[in-house]
Amino acid sequence: MKRKILFLSALLFLTACEEENNEREFLKFYGDAREDIGYSIAMADDGYLICGELSIITRTPEEGIVADSSRMGIIKTGFDGNTIWKKSFGGRFEGIGSKVVVLDDGSIICTGYIVDPDPDNNPATEKQETDIFVVKLNADGSGALEKRFVSPWNQAGCDILQTDEGFIILATTDVGQSDAESSGNIEGKKDILLLRLNTN
């Protein structure tokens, strides 16, 4: 009899766990009519944060979609997957968010890159360059601080780590270099880049 009661108790416990897990399962889609891509996800106290590239769509009543471009974007969802807010960054520059991190105080930091379509202020050259881009904002998506690190050739933020002094960004660069500590980097070939930031 005791064995039967233990078996029934275990069965009820497993059934309850299964029902609880089923309630947490969801399948959600985020995005607009064009490409929207997520590259990183982080968990906050009250949900999830997704960063990547979000389509910015321009529509007219007469013509429908007339233009689209991509911006670094962050989506905040609840634990049920429902969108709480969605924001894009970088102003007129196209860009991508590669990594999002929730900080100890609940604020959010994201790194990636933005594309400068005319770095030399000369439209005739048709030259484009990417710059490391960092966004820090409050837990509710307000108070965004945006920082662009302009340098020659192409740099892109890939990952970000919080430290006691601030942050370290792991990035790539294709700028040509030569120094005593390495064999140098041929211009246009990618190297690893570390960028240290203070808390400001």
Task: Give the C-alpha separation, 99 to 120, whole Å.
Answer: 28
Q: Cα–Cα distance between 181 and 174 in angstroms, integer?
A: 17
What is the rounded CA–CA span in Å between residue 147 and residue 136?
9
pLDDT value at residue 125:
54
pTM score, whole prediction: 0.77
User: Residue 65: its pLDDT value, please?
Assistant: 63
pLDDT digits (tens, 9 = 90+) for 152-200: 789 999 999 999 989 999 999 987 766 655 556 666 678 899 999 988 7
Using alpha carbons, select from 164, 149, 152, 153 the residue that is nearest to residue 194: 149
In the prediction, which pLDDT does 186 show?
62
The pLDDT assigned to 5 comes to: 47
User: Quick one: 47 exposed, middle or buried, by C-beta within 10 A (0-12, 13-18, 19+)?
Assistant: middle
Contacts of 16 (CB under 8 A, 6+ apart): none
Between residues 39 and 21, the one the model is more confident about: 39
Q: For residue range 115-155, what is the model confidence (pLDDT) as tens digits? A: 987 766 655 556 678 999 999 999 999 999 999 998 878 99
Copy the structure tokens of residue 124: 């005739």
Q: What is the pLDDT of residues 29-79, one digit of tens each?
A: 888 767 899 999 999 999 999 999 998 877 777 776 656 788 999 999 999
